[in-house]
Amino acid sequence: MAARLSLGDVSLHFGGVMVLEDVTFDVEPGVILGLVGPNGAGKTSLFNCISGHYKPSGGSVTIDGIEVVGTAPSSLARHGLARTFQHPALQLDATVLQNVLLGGHTRLPGGPVSWSLRLPHTRRAEREIRAEALGLLRREQLEWAAGRPAEELSHGLHKGIELCRALLAKPALLLLDEPAAGLSHGEVEQLIDTIRRVRAEEDITIVVVEHHMGLISALTDRVVVLDHGRKLMEGTAAQAQSDPRVIEAYLGKDAVDDAA
C-alpha cells in the first residue's frame, strides 16, 4: 500500500552552516512529487534526512504517521522506504542479478540464524525473490545481463539495475535521486516510460529529485521547489516554471525583469 510522507519544519545544520530550514510538506499516497531547485538548494540533503543517512537538527519526518527521524536506513526499509542514488551504489564485481537480489534481503523470513541454517521456508522465500528479481530485469529488458558483472555495463544500465533493486524491496515509498543524470535523450525517454509503468502497476508513492525539467513535467503530480535550504513554493510543474520566484532562483533577478 502506498505510503504517506510528511515533513514538518525539517532543519539541518552542519556546524554553523544552515543546509535546510523549516521545510514542511506532505506527499499523499500514490502521488509522484518532484523535489526541484537550483544547485545547492538542499535537495539531496533533504533526501538524506528522509532516508536516514542524515539526522535532521530539528523537525519531524513521518511515514504513515510513524516518526522515523533517527531511524537507520536499513530499518527504514522495513517501513517501506527504498531509494536510488545519483551515482548508483552497486557492487561492481558482483553480477547484475546479485546486485538486484540485495533489494530483497529485508523480505526474507526469520533472521541470521534461520538464514544460515537454510531452513525450508528461507529457501522457498529465496526462490520466490530470485524469480521476482529476474522478472524485474526482464521487464526492464536487462535479463540478458543477469549473469554479467555489473562493471561491464554502462552508466545508464547501472541506473536500471539500481531501480530494479529498489523495486524488489516492494517499497511503499520510493525516493529517486537524479535518476536521469548522465543519461542520453533516448534513455531519459525510456526512464519516463518506466516510472510511469511503475506508478500504474505498483501501489507506491514516489518522490524524485531531478534537474531534468522535461522528466519532472512529464511525471509529477506536484513539485516542491527548494532554494537555499528553504521551501520556495509548492504546486504543479507548470506553476513552478512560470513562478517569478522560481525563475529568479534558477536564472537570477535579471531574467525576471526581462520577462516582465
Q: Looking at the structure, tell me whether residues 68 and 177 fall in a common domain.
A: yes
The tens digit of pLDDT for each residue in 58-77 reads: 999 999 999 999 898 888 88
Query: How high is the pLDDT of residue 199?
Result: 86
Among 106, 123, 153, residue at a domain's last position? 153
> Does residue 45 lie in a domain region?
yes
C-alpha cell at 52: 536516514
Query: How high is the pLDDT of residue 40?
Result: 87
Query: How high is the pLDDT of residue 201?
Result: 87
Among 153, 179, 207, residue at a domain's last position? 153
> Does residue 99 lie in a domain region?
yes
Among 103, 120, 153, residue at a domain's last position? 153
How do strand 173-177 and strand 205-209 relate by DSSP bridges? parallel
The ranges of the chain with pLDDT < 70 are 107-121, 251-260
Instruction: Give DSSP secondary structure letters for the chain.
Output: -PPPEEEEEEEEEETTEEEEEEEEEEE-TT-EEEEE-STTSSHHHHHHHHTTSS--SEEEEEETTEE-TT--HHHHGGGTEEE--SS----TTSBHHHHHHGGGGGGSSS-HHHHHHT-HHHHHHHHHHHHHHHHHHHHTT-GGGTTSBGGGS-HHHHHHHHHHHHHHT--SEEEEESTTTT--HHHHHHHHHHHHHHHHHS--EEEEE-S-HHHHHHH-SEEEEEETTEEEEEE-HHHHHH-HHHHHHHH-HHHHHHH-
* CATH code for position 24: 3.40.50.300
Query: How high is the pLDDT of residue 251?
Result: 66
Query: How high is the pLDDT of residue 117?
Result: 57
Q: Looking at the structure, tell me whether residues 145 and 187 fall in a common domain.
A: no
C-alpha cell at 246: 522560481
Cα-based angle 230, 236, 239 (whole degrees, multiple of 5): 85
Domain count, the chain: 2
Using only C-alpha atoms, what is the Rg of the chain? 19
